[in-house]
Amino acid sequence: MRKFYLIGFALLLLFDTIGQTSFKLTAKHAEPLAASLDWLIRVFTSPLVYVAISAYICTFFTWMILLKKAPVGPAFAASHLEIVTVMFVSIWVFNEHITLIRFIGAALIIIGIIFLAIAEKNIHQQQTKIESK
């Protein structure tokens, strides 16, 4: 069972990260940005936009399968912690520089997500208590 969650969450993060990376690559491919048909044509002739769409569909189905069984708190956190993996990819693939203030911001957001995950877990426990009475 532990293995099921580990593989499930790892796949969720992987698909999400591939999706966001492909989005950024598609955006670069379609430059310059313009509210025009030409821009849309550049977007949809980029092969990476289809990688992004496929990754999103895979994320959706992985999420649906996980959500049926996984505990709600960790599941909530896992569905948002792709920001961590995407930041690593940003540094690695796009040579982005993480400034100190941006790093502090990222840490605050992650702390916030952890609090929300605890809240989800507590609410879920209260609901199951009420239902079992």
Partner 1 sequence: MSSLVIILWILNVLFDTIGQIAFKYAAINPRNRDGWHYWSDLFRNYWLWIGIVSYIAEFLLWLAFLTLVPLSQGILIGSFNIITIMIMGRLLFKELLTKYRIIGMLFITAGVICVGVS
Residues 50-79 that bind partner 1 (CB under 8 A): none
Dihedral of alpha carbons 6, 11, 16, 22, sign: positive
Other CB atoms within a 10 A radius of the CB of residue 5 amount to 16
94 binds partner 1 (CB under 8 A): yes
Q: Which stretch binds partner 1 (CB under 8 A): 5-13, 61-69, 84-92?
A: 84-92
Q: Cα 80 to chain center, whole Å? A: 5
Q: Which amino acid is at 44?
A: F
Residues that bind partner 1 (CB under 8 A): 20-21, 23-24, 26-28, 30-33, 40, 43, 49, 80, 82-83, 86-87, 89-91, 94, 96, 98-99, 101-102, 104-116, 118-119, 122-123
